[in-house]
Structure 1
Amino acid sequence: MSRGPTRLSPGLALGLAGVLYSSWLIGPLLNPAFGLLDGYASELAARDQPYHLVFGLGDLVVGALASATGVVLARRARGWPRWAWWGLVAFGVATALDGTVSSMDCAPTADARCARLAELGALSWRHQGHSVSSSAAVVGGLVSLVALLVALRGRRVPFRWGLVVATVLLVGTAGTLVELAHLDAALGAWQRVQLLGLSGWLVYAGVVAARTDPGPEAGALNVGARRDPGS
């Protein structure tokens, strides 16, 4: 019975991270200048915006939960699961930076002066580094999710749920990249789809982590014993 909390703690940590990563949903309540689908979600944490500390702290907590849990699980794992958990660590570190060291100076989609300064490269190195940390977070999430799907192939229900999450994340990421090349009002909508995919991945990873054997063989996921014939 004493093993129960140990099994559940990684899953609970990642589930909480998935919920907190959706803090942009309360953005319009704290900062009415932004609608639910307006601009970049990261602009809510820009240092000139009201309640930016709330959203920055949210990113920091998510990053701490993800990176700490990822390190613990990666040390136990072997094979593809290890890639999944190290991808989680990369996401966690990058997300923590997003809300702190590389938070934006201002909100370029809502402030023409900020947008102009950004084009001229006249904003701080922190602002300019934000795109790097944000991109690293997305890449870490994608690597982790793909590794989990490879490790779980043949397990019907967990694998299928993972495919749903992967579809949402990939569609949101592709749409965001297209909109970045041709900016218009749909950028916020596509990025929110991407963020929903990342939140879904965190919760999905939490479910996988909660089912992982906490012993010396933890992280192997025991996928071989449950694969369908011919998978």
Structure 2
Amino acid sequence: MLAAAALAIAGVAYSSWIFDFIVPTGQDRFRSFLSELEADDVPWHQVYSYGDIVAGVAAVGASLLLFGVRPAGRGATTAVVALGVFGTATVADALAPMGTVPIVHAATSAIAVFSLFVTMGAATWSAFREDNWPIMRTLGATTFALVAIATGWMLGSDRLQGDYLLGLAQRIQVGAMSVWLLVFSVGTWSSTRHARRPKRVPRRR
């Protein structure tokens, strides 16, 4: 239950960029990087930095809690460990904004995204092959596919000349990642509840 709560917090906090729709910062939402929201000269930049820090700490907490119950199978173990790496890299990413230490920020951002991809892939594989987190076979896999499509769009936009709405692609990517963390939270809660449910003893005739 605690792990599910931590994952839910991570998913909500990782979507702190939505605050830009409430109090506009003037950034072009179709073309700017989300990391630009954390620059010191951006109004309310602390909201985005603290959002990432909370998301990262919650993800690390969820990883430790899940690892403590000994996840069944290599896929599940990989997903849980990678979740912890994602959380750690996300905190480091927030502490090294794009405008302050660009090289470190680029590295931590890449590690965070890659490790969350590993988490999503391993959790999906585990759902199919190790019978963990059944919801990850359907809603989880669908959300993962959306993340993959948005990531491909974003990488292409960053490398091709022209206006390919890179910012929109990244917002869809990160938004889908947040949704995936929430789905994983539901899957974890459901699996924990099912595991605690007492088994029925067949009646003797």
Q: Classify the TM-score, shorter chain.
A: 0.7 to 0.9
2:111 maps to a residue whose letter is A
So what's the TM-score if we normalise by structure 2? 0.83
Q: How does 1:154-165 map to 2 (within 5 A)?
A: 157-165=135-143
- Residue of structure 2 equivalent to 1:87: 82
* Counterpart in the other structure of 1:134: 109
Contact 1:153 1:159 in 2 (8 A): yes
> 1:206: which partner in 2?
185
Kindly provide the CA deviation profile for residues 69-122 of structure 1, in whole angstroms up to 9, marking residues without a partner as x.
11221242242111111111111011111111x2122xxxxxxxxxxxxxxxxx
Is the Cα contact below 8 Å between 2:38 and 2:45 reproduced in 1? yes
**Using the alignment, how far apart are the partners of 1:138 and 1:213 within structure 2?**
27
TM-score after normalising by structure 1: 0.75
Equivalent of residue 21 in structure 1, options 2, 14, 34: 14
Name 2:165's counterpart in structure 1.
186
Q: Quote the offset at 1:37 in angstroms.
A: 3.1
Which residue matches 2:71? 77
Moved more, 192-201 or 26-35: 26-35
Which deviates more from structure 2 when the two are superposed, residues 55-64 or residues 33-42?
A: 33-42
Point out where structure 2 has 5 or more consecutive residues left out of the alignment: 197-205
User: Contact conserved, 1:141 with 1:201, CA < 8 A, in 2?
Assistant: no
Deviation at 1:35, TM superposition (A): 4.1
Deviation, structure 1 residue 32: 3.1
- Quote the residue 1:104 is aligned against: 98
Counterpart CA distance in 1 for 2:145 and 2:112 is: 18
Identity, % of aligned positions: 28
Structure 1 residues 96 and 175: alpha-carbon distance in aligned structure 2, compared to 1, 3 A threshold: same
Q: Helix, strand or coil: the match of 2:18?
A: helix
Paired residue secondary structure (1:30)? coil
User: Judging changes above 3 Å, is the alpha-carbon distance between structure 1 residues 13 and 127 closer, same or farther for their aligned structure 2 residues?
Assistant: same
* Aligned pair partner of 2:3 in 10, 14, 17: 10
Corresponding residue number in structure 2 for 1:113: none
Residues 200-223 of structure 1, C-alpha deviations (whole Å, 9 max, x = no match): 221122122213449xx99xxxxx
Paired residues of 2:128 and 2:137 also in contact (CA < 8 A): yes
Query: How well do the aligned residues superpose, as a CA RMSD in angstroms?
Result: 2.2
**For the Cα contact (< 8 Å) 1:27–1:35, is it kept in 2?**
no
Task: State how far apart, in whole Å, the 2-side matches of 1:143 and 1:86 are.
Answer: 9
**What per-residue deviation string (whole Å, max 9, x for no partner) do you get for residues 163-194 of structure 1?**
21111110011111111112535000111111
Contact kept in structure 2, 1:63 and 1:96, CA below 8 Å: yes
Alpha carbons of structure 1 residues 157 and 50: separation in structure 2 relative to 1, 3 Å: closer
CA contact (8 A) 1:173 1:194 kept: yes
Distance across 2 between alignment mates of 1:99 and 1:152:
31
- The structure-2 alpha-carbon separation of the partners of 1:137 and 1:200, relative to structure 1 and needing over 3 Å to count, comes to same
Q: Which runs of 5+ in 1 are unaligned?
A: 1-7, 106-123, 219-231
